[in-house]
Structure 1
Amino acid sequence: MTGFDLARLLAERGDERYDLHARHLNHQLPRMLHTLGFDKVYDRAEGAYFWDRDGRDYLDMLAGFGVMGLGRHHPVVRQALHDVLDAGLADLTRFDCQPLPGLLAEKLLGHAPHLDRVFFGNSGTEAVETALKFARYATGRPRIVYCNHAFHGLTTGSLSVNGEDGFRDGFAPLLPDTAIELGDLAALEREVRRGDVAGFVVEPIQGKGVHPTPPGFLRAAQELLHRHKALLIADEVQTGLGRTGDFFAYQHEEGVEPDLVCVAKALSGGYVPVGATLGKDWIFKKVYSSMDRVLVHSASFGANAQAMAAGLAVLTVMEDEETVAHARHTGDLLRSRLAALVDRYELLHDVRGRGLMIGIEFGRPKSLGLRSRWTMLQAARKGLFAQMVVVPLLQRHRILTQVSGDHLEVIKLIPPLIIGEREVDRFVEAFTAVMDDAHGGGGLMWDFGRTLVKQALQTH
């Protein structure tokens, strides 16, 4: 038999997946997965679930870091991709204007009526890179202000506004930048008064730790920036497209109209990478100021037909299925049920977030027995208790979650926006069981904690 046969290739070599990664890709990924017992073999996925080869289901509360907003393999998005492939379009000629990018831009801008134009790239980090470049060119200024603990991407420009040193170490020099604390308006004013700030880039809810901007901060920041002729850049890569119960998270605060908005992740439908930077007309007209500058910022695969079709299908599904309102309702239900557990468990300190972006924070317990165990974990490495919760959620309850950033005792929940009461019940019951185990001094959980302590000490 000749030609490429995907089904045959996977049947013959699918079991080599972890060895192939160890040999040819990031060798630390399979090592980490083996250590945590996360080295599962998932055979298929649909909606908010995976299934292993034994037919057991796993609830996905991670959504591919927010990519799977509509869940996996939504039939409308899947059909749109079949249709666009079957259409045989003259895609990516580069010297024509295809209809799909214009139609997707029109539909996106309908959700941000104060904005006028869109640039399509291929990822969230590209959307941020575009915003940084456009802000610097449009203002003629070099410096960008961002927040401590922010995450805006890992390419050089977006890394320059990344608030975690662990990502930045060893990759300097980066762009001129300044970090402030989230919500510190006085610090922002000190920086913009120097006259060299192009813009302030901010996540309306920080992904690391799930920290919302304080009430009124975005509006006040916008007024301050505009007074000093600098731009407000909203990074909605993770928070956008309904994640927080509004289409964009900045829309929770009245009167906030960012100059540039970065979008990606869920716009893809989970199939084809796509990023978008929405902006005001005058900014785009400054960047693309003449025919000589028509390609001054472009992307080889930007606005490709498959990505555009996926994006159009996603936005249509969101309208038809009222996804934003559903995410708001389900998120309120999940958050309220988890918040009700805070007084019950001394290790559980806070539940926060909006819509289906929820942070569960753990902290130092009061009782002596638990406090000594907590102190043991903290001495080895902050974040180990949250990892101790994530592991049994997967191993015993078949629920996939994540620790929300390095050295954080926070679990982040960003499930597909399509989950309902059945999934809320399953998660809350499982989380309650894990908390009961932790507070009862359950052997298995604290034994695993000792294993994590040993691992942490070995890597120091």
Structure 2
Amino acid sequence: MKTLPFPELKADRSQRRFDIRALIAAREGERYSLNAKHLNEMMVRVFQTIGRGVGQYLYDRHGARYLDLLSGWGVFGIGRNHPLLRETLNGVLAADLPNLAQMDASLLAGLLAERLLGFTHWLDKVFFANSGTEAVEAAVKFARRATGRPEIVYCSDAFHGLTYGALSMNGDAVFKEGFEPLAPGFTEIPFNDPAALERALAAGRAAAFIVEPIQGKGVNMPDESYLADAARLCRKYGALFIADEIQTGMGRTGRFLAVEHGDVEPDMVLLSKALSGGHAPVGAVLTRKHIFDKVFDRMDRAVVHGSTFARNDLAMAAGLATLEVMESERLIANAARTGARLLKSFEAMAQRYQLVKAVRGRGLMIGVEFGNPQSLKLKAAWSLVEAVNAGLFCQLITIPLFKEHNILVQVAGHANHTIKLLPALVIDESDCGWIERAFDAVIADSHRVPGAVWSLGRTLADHALKARASK
């Protein structure tokens, strides 16, 4: 008899009862072996310790608490497993709603659209999708349809997703390698360069310019006037201005949208990640009515663009609950306050430690960049590690932060020298103290040559060289 994949369930289908809690309890010990066998084995090798998550914290099987400064790449803005979100999702499942009745109008989608548009005074319509990259793809289609133009202008070092349209305007070659040919009709320009943008728009072929208000890969900050200049140039040359707020939006920078810091009003705003509190895939395009009406301009074009699960009740309810938590717990103000404290602390570290080259960010999106030091001992150690693998030095910071201080953080991009902090917006003053003490201790250790940090560097360099030689 063939072995059932779920042995705790009876073979007799007439008596079979599915219990998700029993299933999780029975097979929890197989978490990593199942992922290694059937999913991404490399990711399993990276991290095999976390058992549960609550708020801004992760806990291992022994109950040790970790401060998560990744928050699922910014997904858990309100923290993990918020009780209101859980209660809301359970309520939706218990309500027997006519979910995805595609020839009907979703009440929850209408309510979420109303709430989102309430955070802007210039946008009128919302298109829901399943993810950030789907929102990007929709925005590209909307821009081309609304303007009748073929080109999309994007920036170097940009990250807008990994489906083919989004990948075609990815500013990092490592994501594109091996997937060519990419889609035509995309023009790359330098970030934070209004003159380059004007040259790209002046030909009159650009449907839109898409930009992250703060670039996620590196936490690259624009000049104060850049976004306003970009909006002005787009108006001048008849192109649409698209703000990709998938990572910067939903309060991350201390305002609901990062463009609010410059009083900029894009033609489209893209949201995802934190929108559902991390429990349901969701994305959204907030747009002006005239753009929306160009796409859906006749009855027979009502379904010219869509996505099967885009307005599903769980995602819409999760979005409503997330916005309620953000407002009731004043998380946007908390992001502004705690972010300002952390930035000030890191800037002080930059004054004390020569390996800290720069500190950038806004709210709770912070980048700490490391660079070649001045002292001869440190310079020699830095050069040895970096010669093996560009960006390897940052692992000498992230690994001790995790192993010795229970802080989970990562580098901001491939071959990048910036460590990015993207914590949940619920962190408090004690968490800030934890972060400051841990970073200060690890960075101080990295200035001692020889020392434990540089011993780790030699070990990582040896592993990298052996891996390279075995290819």
Per the TM alignment, residue 174 of structure 1 is displaced from its structure 2 partner at its CA by 2.2
Structure 1 residue 273: deviation in Å?
Answer: 1.0
Map of 1:319 onto structure 2: 327
Shift of 1:94: 0.1
**In 2, distance between residues paired with 1:115 and 1:44?**
39
Q: Aligned residue for 2:434?
A: 426
Counterpart selection for 2:406 from 359, 377, 398: 398
Q: Does 1:6 align with 2:20?
A: yes
Q: Distance in 2 between matches of 1:246 and 1:230?
A: 26
Deviation at 1:459, TM superposition (A): 4.5
1:89 equivalent to 2:103? Answer no
SS at match of 1:206: coil
The aligned residue for residue 36 of structure 1 is: none
Q: TM-score, normalised by structure 1?
A: 0.96
Q: Once the two structures are superposed, what CA deviation does each residue of 1:187-233 show, in whole Å capped at 9, x if it has no partner? A: 11111111111111100000011012211111111111111110100
Is the aligned partner of 1:28 residue 2:36? Answer: no
Structure 1 position 138, deviation (Å) = 0.7
SS in 1 for 2:350: coil
Once residues 204 and 284 of structure 2 are traced to their aligned partners in structure 1, the CA distance between those partners, rounded to angstroms, is 28
1:224-373 to 2 correspondences below 5 Å: 224-254=233-263, 256-373=264-381
How many Å separate the matches in 2 of 1:188 and 1:220?
Answer: 9
The one-character-per-residue Cα deviations of 1:232-290 (angstroms, maximum 9, x if unpaired) are 00000000010001100011002x11001100010111111110000000000000010
Contact kept? 2:52, 2:59, Cα under 8 Å: yes
Is 1:129 the counterpart of 2:129? The answer is: no
User: How far apart are the structure 1 equivalents of 2:381 and 2:30?
Assistant: 39
Q: 2:209 aligns with which of 200, 209, 218?
A: 200
Match of 2:74 among 66, 71, 88: 66
Q: Provide the rounded CA distance (Å) in 1 between the counterparts of 2:358 and 2:17.
A: 56
| TM-score, normalisation: structure 2 | 0.94
Q: Is the 8 A contact 2:371 2:417 kept in 1?
A: yes
Q: Deviation string for 1:390-434 (max 9, x for gaps)?
A: 111111111100100001111000000010110000011111111
Say if 1:328 and 1:442 are closer, same or farther in 2 by CA, change over 3 A.
Answer: farther
Structure 1 position 109 matched with structure 2 position 109? no
Closer, same or farther in 2 for the Cα pair 1:459/1:235, shift >3 Å?
Answer: farther
Q: Paired residue for 1:211?
A: 220
* Shift of residue 301, structure 1, vs aligned partner: 0.3
CA displacement, residues 27-69 of structure 1 (integer Å, 9 cap, x when unaligned): 32234x1xxxxx3322211011011111100111111000000
Counterpart of 2:65 in structure 1 is 57
Cα distance in 1, alignment partners of residues 278 and 115 from structure 2: 19
Q: Which runs of 5 or more structure 1 residues have no equivalent in the other structure?
A: 34-38
CA distance in 2, matches of 1:293, 1:158: 24
Q: Which moved more, 1:72-81 or 1:434-443?
A: 434-443
Q: Give the secondary-structure state (helix, strand or coil) at the position aligned to 2:405.
A: coil
TM-superposition CA deviations, 1:57-98 (whole Å, max 9, x none): 011111100000000111111111111111110010100112
What is the Cα deviation at residue 12 of structure 1? 3.2
Offset, 1:348:
0.9
Q: 1:205 and 1:100 mapped to 2: Cα distance? A: 31
Question: Which of 227, 232, 238 pairs up with 1:223?
Answer: 232
One-letter code aligned to 2:55:
G
**Distance in 2 between residues matched to 1:11 and 1:347, nearest whole Å:** 46
Please tell me whether the aligned partners of residues 240 and 267 of structure 2 are also in contact (alpha carbons under 8 angstroms): yes
Distance in 2 between residues matched to 1:442 and 1:105, nearest whole Å: 57
Of residues 447, 455, 464, the one that matches 1:456 is 464
Give the SS at the match of 2:265: coil
CA distance in 1, matches of 2:106, 2:35: 38
- Tell me, in whole angstroms, the C-alpha distance in 2 between the residues paired with 1:29 and 1:84: 33
Partner amino acid, structure 1, of 2:446: A
Give the distance between the partners of 1:212 and 1:288, measured in 2 at CA.
36
Q: Give 3-state SS (helix, strand or coil) of 2:352's partner.
A: coil
Question: Out of 152, 161, 186, which is 1:177 matched to?
Answer: 186
Structure 1's consecutive aligned runs of 4 or more residues displaced over 6 angstroms after TM superposition are none
**Match of 1:199, as an amino acid?**
A
